[in-house]
Structure 1
Amino acid sequence: MQLKDKNKKRLILIDLDGTTLKDDHLTINPITKSALQDAIKNGHTVCICTGRSLKDTLHIYNELELDSLLVTLDGGHISDPIHRNFKRIVLPISEEVTKGILKHPILKGKIENIIVEYYHTNMIQNGKDNFFIADANAEPPIQGDILNDWIGPCSNIIVKLNTNLNFFNIVDTLNNEFGDAVKVKSNLIYGIENIGEKPILIITNKFVNKGFAAEMVAQYYNKNIKDVIAFGDQMNDFEMIETVGHGIALTSGNPKLKEIAWGITDISNEDGGLGDTLNKLLK
């Protein structure tokens, strides 16, 4: 992998879990942290582009000493935490659609847990089973009865099922009935080949994806999308890696993502693959 113009100031988009963060979902390999901070000092712009919610991301944003736009919820929320010059973009799911999905007969008796997220808050049905983000440094979601306690729109719904029976029929049925409003995906997009005994549904606004977010952020910073560098590891990064000119997949990432990537890191996220590759590209 080589850049044609190493003097050009780039926009660098970084996924978090499995990419910037080590496998503990907590720490950044020193090679990666140093490379990102060096890139910023040299005039490049680094932006986080993650599936996490804002409150689960801000401590990492602050650790990296960023002051750029912040993309969370896979592009469902784009914000400007420091300067507040960028008008917040939120792509919501209405309360009616959210509760219509959760009350759908095909899910009756099959839901083990739910997380509902909006740009500034999130709620979990059973707080003892925080099944999606294993980051002890993140602020935990509040606990509540989603159907009764959650009021208003959300940007993301994560449903843990208690059975895998008729799983693909569940996904297809919800997409058929609510597909004008949302996309119903599964944990299979995160590189899990076996759906397991308790699969996960991931539901977003139908327009949400990291490719859309990449174009929005590039426009804001007046960067040609063909010059943008992006790092990701799983299939929620697919549109971002495909959209930018230099989409790089972690060697430890999803094989299908690596098939469409411009480049692949030599080493894993655990060993600092993002930082190692960025240093090679920019120096």
Structure 2
Amino acid sequence: MAYKLVAIDMDDTLLTYDKQISRENLEALQKAHDSGIYVVISTGRIYASAYAYSEFLGFKPYIIASNGAMIRDDKDNEIYKSVLDVDLISYLINLANENDLYYHFYSDKIVYSPESTSKYQKYGEWNRLYAETLRVKVEDILKDIDFTDKLKDNIVKFVMFDEDSEKIKRVRDIIDNNKGDKLETTSSFYNNIEILNKGINKGNGLRILGEYLGIDRSEMVAIGDSENDTEMVEFAGLGVAMENAIEKLKNTADFITKSNMENGVAYVINKFIL
């Protein structure tokens, strides 16, 4: 099979644990791009963060951000966007507060984070750990949020956090049971719930992008490590799990590559694409 597109998750897939792109991965991506392969960064991260990392690639990739809620081409043109209704955002804020969960939500470029974080480190503090070029804009959420201005028709993803995994599971069950007809829940780490509109996921993002580019799913490769990569790994003609991936994803994948610390992305590109 001659593959035409490769979609790659960022954290713990393309990136090492210290959030770097290895030389081997970088060279493989550049070779794929130079060979005419569509390189797609497919991440749960905010678009601005994915775009910032793309500066290191030497070319502009297509980007599926926020687990498929936002898709942009290699010239930064918007292909697709799915925004959360303000009533649902209000519901999620109240639910997080009632259960003492830290939360933030974001648009394409701005993360909105509470001033008080209880048990979890403030997103703004975490963001400052990055080099300045990789930081995203963070705004504190005011007590009385004005949804009629900049937040209306602009928020694409809501995330809740807590180190108590049982609490996370319980709150996720509440969302699924009460709002499962309107909201999709997934996770990228044991301590979070990622919440989007129903049907929004990386697999759906690949489907939309494939239709836009005229590429069949059989001509796609998708590489990931976490629960939120499941749908795209299932959708692609060749679905790949990292060696460090969760077991559920490994069971879903067609192939298991080396870990994110062993240039697993480069291994796939060199073996199946170049």
TM-score band (shorter)? 0.7 to 0.9
In the alignment, what sits opposite 2:88? 97
Q: Deviations over 1:153-197 (max 9, x none)?
A: 411111224756654332222222222221234xxx4363xxxxx
TM-score by length of 1: 0.83
Cα pair 1:124 1:146 within 8 Å, conserved: no
Query: Unpaired segments of 5 or more residues in structure 1?
Result: 193-198
Which residue of structure 1 aligns with residue 9 of structure 2? 15
CA contact (8 A) 2:110 2:136 kept: no
Are the aligned partners of 2:203 and 2:232 in contact in 1 as well (CA < 8 Å)? yes
1:248 match: secondary structure: strand
2:248 pairs, out of 250, 256, 275, with 256
SS at match of 2:103: strand
RMSD: 2.5
Match of 1:145 in 2: 141
Report the AA paired with residue 25 of structure 2. T
Contact 1:116 / 1:146 at 8 angstroms: preserved in 2?
no
Q: Which amino acid aligns with 2:212?
A: Y
Which of 39, 49, 53 is the matching residue for 2:46? 53
CA contact (8 A) 1:36 1:46 kept: yes
Alignment partner of 1:170 is 2:160: no
8 A contact 1:9–1:43 mirrored in 2: no
- Of 205, 228, 240 in structure 2, the residue corresponding to residue 236 of structure 1 is 228
**Residue 107 of structure 2 aligns with which residue?**
118
Task: Give how far 1:226 is off.
Answer: 0.8
Equivalent-residue separation in structure 2 for 1:222 and 1:16 (angstroms): 24
Structure 2 residue aligned with 1:24: 18
Query: How many residues are paired up?
Result: 262
- Is 2:59 aligned against 1:69? no
* Structure 2: gaps of 5 or more residues: none
Q: What letter corresponds to residue 62 of structure 2 in structure 1?
A: L
- Tell me how far apart the structure 2 counterparts of residues 13 and 102 of structure 1 sit (CA, whole Å): 32
Aligned equivalent of 1:270, options 261, 266, 269: 261
The 1:160–1:36 alpha-carbon spacing in structure 2 relative to 1, beyond 3 Å, is same
